[in-house]
Amino acid sequence: MSTIDPAFPALHGRPDQGWINDPNGCIYVDGVHHLFFQYNPDAPIHGNVHWGHATSTDLVRWTQQPTALFPSKGGPDAVGAWSGVIALDGDVPTAYYTGIAETEHDSLVLTAISDRTLIDWDQADQGIAGMPDEPTIGDVRDPFLFTFNGSQYAIQGAGYKDGTPVILLYRCHTMTNWEYLGPLVTGGSGVAQDWAPAQIWECPQLFEVDGQWVLMLSLWNHDHSEDRVTYLTGELSEGGAGLKFLPTGGGLIDAGPDFYAPQVVAGTGAEPRTLMWGWSWEKSRDDADILASGWAGVLTYARELSFRDGQLRSAPVAEVDTLRAAVISSGAAAFTVPVPTRAFDVVAGGAVELVFVDGGVEQVVAAIPAGRILVDGSLVEVFADGGTAATVRAYPTATSHFEVRGAATVHALAL
């Protein structure tokens, strides 16, 4: 069971059982943070995709809520209620997500509405946007909404049949009346190719932070050779049929091997920070161990994004500090974390390594010149001074332990 599995990230607010992947519909309403996610409640495998739901008032202590969205038998989302977002249509929380019917492989943007508790949802049985009337486009998914110069727009991730990624742009005349405007930006050359080489751009997020427009992209390739998340910076302006985005730079969102499909919530008056969650998968865990544990996938701690010195930077939200319990080491050059301690926080002003030792075999999980390392079960989130992040997995067993090498303060973490 996940509750006694030493690899289970107990502080990260996921259900005890089942599969989760992409964070969806992240939104702050009436003092409550709502975090939705792709969810298979029946098994730790990808399929039967619902939207799970958790809530928090402090970003670190989460309460599981009833499952929000369900694949509808014989409906337009029979194959799954796939990734999307939630926005307020006036006072009405509305989910926009990708659905695929059993008899069709073309995707639809589907909607569902709720009240301001976001607990009970009414899923529409018809889509508001289908595949564009362009035979060269092969894949479309993952709607995202944003506002520019007072007007509402939407984008979707896509790929041409020749293997070139593209972002599709829509004008939202109303929140359920979308007009397809064509490509916003296309990959395959220039800055976009340098920083975002892919066949499909998934889970696009277009937002402004500290005065800079950022396009966040999850890179999908058929051979999974570039499973990572990058961003493009550039100028967003009115032009052509609607808007144009000219990439001028880019970078990595997370340098680790175990981070994908993040979702961003742009700052508002009620919550001014720009927040991001990412999905950490189980690529490095044996399939038999996953099935035996009964769970797969975890979402990161909420991270606050900023843009400075020409780079997008991220750090764990300040609320994570409230999880600190006892100091279990202070300043030691080498420290073995006691085996009962499943979650801990390493803060170092100089070089530090986190080493995973199992059966005498050592694995350096993280090495930074200075910064912070957060561990919860098998999830390791690394934040080097300067704002670079990396997400890594290391799976504790009955015979394993972590070692911290380098002077650091180590706190145990607990709810």
Q: Which two tokens stand for residue 134?
A: 């362009």
Residue 339 DSSP code? T
Domains and CATH numbers, the chain: 18-318 (2.115.10.20), 323-413 (2.60.120.560)
pLDDT of residue 3: 54
Residues 142 and 204 sit within 8 Å (Cβ to Cβ): yes
CA–CA dist 391, 44 (Å, integer): 21
Q: Which two tokens stand for residue 240?
A: 């052509």
CA–CA dist 302, 314 (Å, integer): 10
Task: Scan for tokens 């981070």, then name that residue.
Answer: 259
Residue 321 DSSP code? G
pLDDT of residue 197: 96
Beta bridge partners of 311: 308
Give the angle 2-283-26 at the CA atoms, nearest 5°: 70
Beta bridge partners of 86: 95
Residues 21 and 47 sit within 8 Å (Cβ to Cβ): no
Q: Among candidates 75, 135, 139, 73, which has minimal Cα distance to 110? A: 75
CA–CA dist 123, 212 (Å, integer): 35
Sheet containing strand 361-368, strands side by side:
334-336, 400-405, 352-358, 361-368
Residues 209 and 264 sit within 8 Å (Cβ to Cβ): no
Give the angle 279-285-286 at the CA atoms, nearest 5°: 140
For 93, the enclosing helix (H) or strand (E) is strand 92-100
The phi and psi torsions of 41 (rounded to 5 degrees) equal -75, -10
CA–CA dist 141, 72 (Å, integer): 18
**DSSP-derived 3-state class of residue 152:** strand
Residue 318 DSSP code? G
pLDDT of residue 2: 46
Q: Side-chain half-sphere of 376: how many Cα atoms within 13 Å?
A: 23
CA–CA dist 378, 339 (Å, integer): 13
Query: pLDDT in tens for each of the 415 residues of the chain?
Result: 445 799 999 999 999 999 999 999 999 999 999 999 999 999 999 999 999 999 999 999 999 999 999 999 999 999 999 999 999 999 999 999 999 998 777 899 999 999 999 999 999 999 999 999 999 999 999 999 999 999 999 999 999 999 999 999 999 999 999 999 999 999 999 999 999 999 999 999 999 999 999 999 999 998 887 789 999 999 999 987 789 999 999 999 999 999 999 999 998 889 999 999 999 999 999 999 999 999 999 999 999 999 999 999 999 999 999 999 999 999 999 999 999 899 999 999 999 999 999 998 999 999 999 999 999 999 999 999 988 999 999 999 989 999 999 999 999 999 9
DSSP code per residue over 193-229: HHH---SEEEEEEEEEETTEEEEEEEEE-TT-TT--E
For the stretch 367-384, what's the b/e string if a residue is b when 16 or more beta carbons lie within 10 angstroms of its beta carbon?
Answer: ebeebbbbbbbbbbbbbb
**DSSP-derived 3-state class of residue 315:** strand
For the stretch 129-146, what's the b/e string if a residue is b when 16 or more beta carbons lie within 10 angstroms of its beta carbon?
Answer: bebbeeeebbbbbbbbbb
pTM equals: 0.96
CA–CA dist 37, 27 (Å, integer): 12
User: CA 111: distance to chain centroid?
Assistant: 21
